């Protein structure tokens, strides 16, 4: 089944304005729907297409790339091997899982310059050293990041109007009322529990129970594990991945590699961390040391937090040590009766929402005057020449001292200060309080 994906519109823009000069590279984690999206686009937008899946391509098809300089012969051999007739100026060739056959990626330069057809590549682990070794990365390549399905895409797949209703209520700027807010929160927590991996969403749409959906998510995590072991036989990348929920739960100022591996830091650990981030299975949020200057220019590359790219997988990873994640746990999540110390699950959901808007993740910490403790703002985003500060609360609102201190310390640089929780819309002390699901609407209307 094909679900609506917002990236389709970006692909249409590429076809209209850039496809004659650039191939399109759909990049993202495994199982986020890149191949399905590429195939659907090829079927709908071209008169004919060839899809080469390098995970299963025959030696005959791979041998076509032995001499890419004679393109007339190349295209004749490719059409003979696939049985597909290409139409000049109205066909597309899809290189699926192109990282598995780097020579095809290198050929993009010559193929695009030839101009007869358009090209789409899909790939994960696309920048890992062994996947780019000894090849010239083509400059004739536009990248489009494919994320797990966002909340709006999830609602459309489930034929739910929850996203639309929430958006209309957000526009009013008024409190929703306890009953409506509770209903919309429950809808959003359903998305948090299932996540945005298309296989998990399909399992839910097909009526599978939470145990079955959880098993689908476990198979995806197993797939990630296999990838990690292929690129790092030491198992340290896998240890970094598995450590994410535990480190978030301890509310650390930054991610600790030594804490994750349980061993002394090694020289190659920084490279392993890059490989994990490049897998797109995780999201890195960097501590920006001086938000008055620039979030990107003052980010500390040694101080960062990690989140999972999909909160549904995060839920499963939290309890991966159990043979099965129980119905009871999912029931508690939907009814908001999980222990309070699982609030970092909501923090991961916010990270996923921000990333799905193609925004980088930043946070900020600073010391309390005369104390060994510190303040922290969970997320910062640019807003024109200023910044918006976001703090996440899983249940109660607390004293939100960090937001108040941040407003005072950086008053001339702050645009809006927002506390995301499960409480209704209101404003107090110069802070805008929003239910967590309304972050989607806020970001869509904010400017970089």
pLDDT tens digit sequence for 170-217: 999 999 999 999 999 999 999 999 999 999 999 999 999 999 999 999
- How does the average pLDDT of the chain come out, rounded? 92
Residues 93-106 have a mean pLDDT of 94
Torsion angle, CA of 51/57/59/65, rounded to 10 degrees?
Answer: 40
Residue 280 — left, alpha, or beta (φ > 0 → left; ψ -120 to 50 → alpha)?
A: left
Residues 270-293 have a mean pLDDT of 94
Residue 30: half-sphere exposure toward Cβ, Cα within 13 Å: 17
Residues 304-329 have a mean pLDDT of 87
Q: So what's the pLDDT on residue 332?
A: 82
Q: So what's the pLDDT on residue 282?
A: 98
Q: So what's the pLDDT on residue 337?
A: 80
The model carries a pTM of: 0.93
Cα 321 from Cα 326, distance rounded (Å): 12
pLDDT digits (tens, 9 = 90+) for 226-256: 999 998 999 999 999 999 999 998 878 899 9
Model confidence at 418, in pLDDT bands (50, 70, 90)? very high
The percent of residues in the chain predicted with pLDDT above 70, rounded, is 97
Q: Do residues 41 and 120 touch, judged by C-beta distance below 8 A?
A: yes
425 or 322: whose pLDDT is higher? Answer: 425
Cα 242 from Cα 237, distance rounded (Å): 9
Asked if the model's pLDDT at residue 370 lies above 90, the reply is: no
141 or 267: whose pLDDT is higher? Answer: 141
pLDDT digits (tens, 9 = 90+) for 34-50: 999 999 999 999 999 99
Residues 6+ apart with CB under 8 A from 140: 21, 22, 23, 108, 109, 112, 113
Asked if the model's pLDDT at residue 448 lies above 70, the reply is: no
Model confidence at 369, in pLDDT bands (50, 70, 90)? confident
Asked if the model's pLDDT at residue 157 lies above 90, the reply is: yes
What is the CATH architecture assignment of 7-145?
Answer: 3-Layer(aba) Sandwich (3.40)
Asked if the model's pLDDT at residue 60 lies above 70, the reply is: yes
Asked if the model's pLDDT at residue 326 lies above 70, the reply is: no
Q: So what's the pLDDT on residue 437?
A: 95
Asked if the model's pLDDT at residue 398 lies above 80, the reply is: no
- Domain limits, the chain: 7-145, 159-445
Q: So what's the pLDDT on residue 324?
A: 66
Q: So what's the pLDDT on residue 264?
A: 81
Model confidence at 397, in pLDDT bands (50, 70, 90)? low
Q: So what's the pLDDT on residue 290?
A: 92
């Amino acid at each position: 089944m094909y679900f609506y994906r917002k990236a389709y519109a970006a692909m249409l823009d590429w076809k209209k304005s850039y496809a004659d000069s650039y191939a399109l590279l759909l990049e993202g984690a495994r199982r986020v729907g890149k191949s399905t999206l590429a195939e659907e686009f090829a079927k709908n937008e071209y008169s004919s297409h060839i899809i080469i899946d390098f995970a299963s391509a025959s030696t005959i098809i791979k041998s076509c790339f032995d001499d890419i300089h004679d393109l007339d012969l190349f295209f004749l051999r490719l059409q003979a091997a696939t049985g597909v007739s290409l139409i000049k100026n109205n066909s597309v060739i899809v290189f699926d899982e192109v990282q598995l056959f780097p020579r095809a990626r290198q050929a993009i330069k010559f193929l695009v310059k030839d101009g007869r057809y358009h090209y789409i590549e899909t790939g994960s682990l696309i920048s890992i050293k062994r996947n780019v070794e000894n090849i010239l990365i083509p400059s004739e390549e536009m990248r489009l990041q494919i994320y797990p399905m966002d909340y709006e895409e999830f609602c459309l797949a489930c034929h739910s109007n929850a996203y639309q209703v929430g958006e209309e209520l957000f526009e009013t700027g008024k409190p929703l009322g306890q009953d409506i807010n509770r209903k919309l929160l429950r809808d959003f927590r359903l998305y948090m529990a299932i996540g945005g991996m298309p296989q998990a969403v399909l399992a839910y749409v097909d009526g599978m129970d939470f145990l079955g959906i959880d098993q689908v998510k476990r198979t995806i995590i197993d797939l990630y594990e296999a990838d990690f072991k292929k690129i790092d036989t030491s198992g340290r990348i896998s240890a970094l991945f598995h450590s994410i929920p535990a480190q978030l739960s301890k509310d650390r100022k930054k991610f600790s590699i030594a804490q994750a591996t349980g061993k002394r830091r090694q020289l190659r650990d920084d490279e392993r961390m890059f490989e994990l981030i490049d897998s797109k299975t995780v999201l890195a949020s960097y501590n920006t040391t001086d938000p008055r200057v620039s979030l990107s220019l003052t980010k500390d590359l040694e101080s960062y937090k990690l989140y999972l790219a999909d909160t549904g997988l995060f839920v499963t990873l939290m309890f991966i040590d159990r043979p099965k994640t129980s119905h009871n746990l999912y029931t508690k999540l939907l009814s908001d009766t999980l222990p309070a110390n699982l609030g970092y699950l909501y923090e991961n959901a916010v990270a996923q929402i921000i990333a799905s808007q193609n925004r980088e993740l930043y946070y900020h910490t600073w010391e309390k005057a005369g104390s060994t403790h510190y303040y922290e703002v969970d997320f910062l985003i640019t807003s024109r020449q200023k910044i918006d500060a976001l703090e996440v609360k899983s249940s109660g609102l607390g004293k939100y001292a960090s937001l108040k201190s941040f407003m005072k310390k950086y008053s001339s640089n702050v645009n809006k200060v927002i506390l995301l929780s499960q409480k209704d819309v209101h404003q107090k002390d110069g802070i805008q309080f929003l239910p967590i699901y309304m972050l989607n609407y806020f970001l869509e209307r904010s400017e970089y």
